[in-house]
Structure 1
Amino acid sequence: MRVKMELIYKSPKGNETTFISEEMLAGKALVLAEDIEKTGRMKDVTFIDPKENTWNLKELREFMKGIQTEPHNIKVYFDGGYNLETRTSGLGCVIYYEQNGKSYRLRKNAKVEELESNNEAEYAALHLGLQELEFLGVEHQTVEVIGDSKVVINQLTDEWPVLEEELSRWADRIEENMGEINITPEYKAVSRKENNEADRLASQALKGVEVSSKIEIN
């Protein structure tokens, strides 16, 4: 989760002023606030998440303690492929996350037949990743969403308009899913080479090779 920090600072002479920080990871904000608190000059602090929910220092401490037992520091890689001859799609997603002091990698793919284009397959692959996050119990998290589809990334960040009706439905579905589990996405477009794990999973799905695995990583 990312937050802004609104801090009321009181000088030794009793003068007060309010500072509002840039958005940062909640863990970093908590460390900074606790450090300033030690000076004795912090009168109050409020943390504001992207959905305008507010947290006091105690509430954020409790949240950060609890989050260690849940999946966090999450990265979702997605990729979709479409075979025009067979009119089938391969979906692939790779999820990296931490939980209870350990790091994990989850891989999942699927073969589907109801899609009509490669762009639809890309959206469906991201949707597959969101379903896996829901199965993991992820909520109230900032999630890095990574893919090589400029169409999906730029449409979901409102850089490009969504003109096709079927893609508009997918974009709405993605945003609805994220809202249901309170995910704040941070989108990142990468090259196909940087997305090779998800790309390989999508290709395997098109060949009928099913993959569903979770392993602990160093």
Structure 2
Amino acid sequence: MYVRMELVYRTPKGTDTGFSSEDMPAKKALLIAEDLEKTGRVKTITFIDRHENTWNLKELRKQLEEIEAEPHNIMVYFDGGFNLETGKAGLGCAIYYEQNGKVYRLRKNAAVDELETNNEAEYAALHLGVKELEHLGAHHITVEFAGDSQVVINQLAGEWPCYEEALSNWADRIENKFAELGLDATFEVVSRKKNKEADQLASQALSGIEIFSKREIKNGEGF
């Protein structure tokens, strides 16, 4: 969850002025705001997220307490593969997240028949990840998506245009689900090596191996 701070600062002689910060993680904003409040010179502080929802200091503290009990600090790796000979696609996603002070990893794959290209498979894999987030109960939070498909990442990030109807339909479906769940998505193109977990899941789906697992990640295992 990212917010910006808008505050009114009052000097010892009673002169007021306003400040607005850049977007930052809500926990960081809360720490800064609490430190500023100790000066006794802050008249008002308002926190505003990327959907223009607003909180005061007390409300943001409560919001962060509620978030701690829900999935947060979420990273989704996704990958899709397409076999031209069989016309089958394999989808894979690996989701890392925190909840109640613990770190978890969810792995999911699926095989589908109705797709026609590798780019469609990549979109479908990301969509699979979003559906799993919905099942986890993730909502109104920032989520990072990482994959090795420059087409999908750059189109969803608005960097590249999307002219193909099939891909545009997938993009619309995903963006509608983001809006429905209140997810603020960020995207990163990663190497195939860094995306090997999702790639393996997609390959296993193409081989007829179905996988769904969730487990706690212990300290030292990496995130």
**TM superposition score category, shorter chain reference:** over 0.9
Shift of 1:166: 0.3
Alignment map for 1:1-218 (pairs within 5 Å): 1-218=1-218
Cα deviation code 1:67-112 (max 9, x no counterpart): 1110100000100000000000000000000001000000000000
After TM superposition, the runs of 4+ consecutive aligned structure 1 residues lying more than 3 A away are none
Shift of 1:16: 1.2
Q: Using the alignment, how far apart are the partners of 1:113 and 1:76 within structure 2?
A: 23
Q: Using the alignment, how far apart are the partners of 1:189 and 1:2 within structure 2?
A: 21
Q: Using the alignment, how far apart are the partners of 2:18 and 2:144 within structure 1?
A: 31
Structure 1 residue ranges without an equivalent (≥5): none
Q: Using the alignment, how far apart are the partners of 1:189 and 1:43 within structure 2?
A: 42
State percent identity of aligned pairs: 66
The TM-score normalised by the length of structure 1 is 0.99
Q: What is the DSSP-based 3-state SS (H/G/I as helix, E as strand, rest coil) of the residue aligned with 1:193?
A: coil
The TM-score normalised by the length of structure 2 is 0.97
What amino acid is aligned across from residue 191 of structure 2 in structure 1?
S
What amino acid is aligned across from residue 69 of structure 1 in structure 2?
A
Q: Using the alignment, how far apart are the partners of 1:42 and 1:199 within structure 2?
A: 50
Shift of 1:38: 1.0
Q: Using the alignment, how far apart are the partners of 1:204 and 1:8 within structure 2?
A: 56
Q: Using the alignment, how far apart are the partners of 2:187 and 2:9 within structure 1?
A: 34
What amino acid is aligned across from residue 188 of structure 2 in structure 1?
K
Shift of 1:11: 1.1
Q: Give the alignment's Cα RMSD to 1 decimal.
A: 0.6
Q: Using the alignment, how far apart are the partners of 2:198 and 2:7 within structure 1?
A: 42
Q: Using the alignment, how far apart are the partners of 1:35 and 1:145 within structure 2?
A: 33
Shift of 1:13: 1.3
Shift of 1:127: 0.4
What amino acid is aligned across from residue 129 of structure 2 in structure 1?
G
Q: How many residues align?
A: 218
- Are the counterparts in 1 of residues 8 and 44 from structure 2 also a CA contact under 8 Å? yes
Shift of 1:53: 1.4
Q: Using the alignment, how far apart are the partners of 2:17 and 2:142 within structure 1?
A: 30
Q: Using the alignment, how far apart are the partners of 2:103 and 2:148 within structure 1?
A: 24
Q: Using the alignment, how far apart are the partners of 1:142 and 1:92 within structure 2?
A: 21
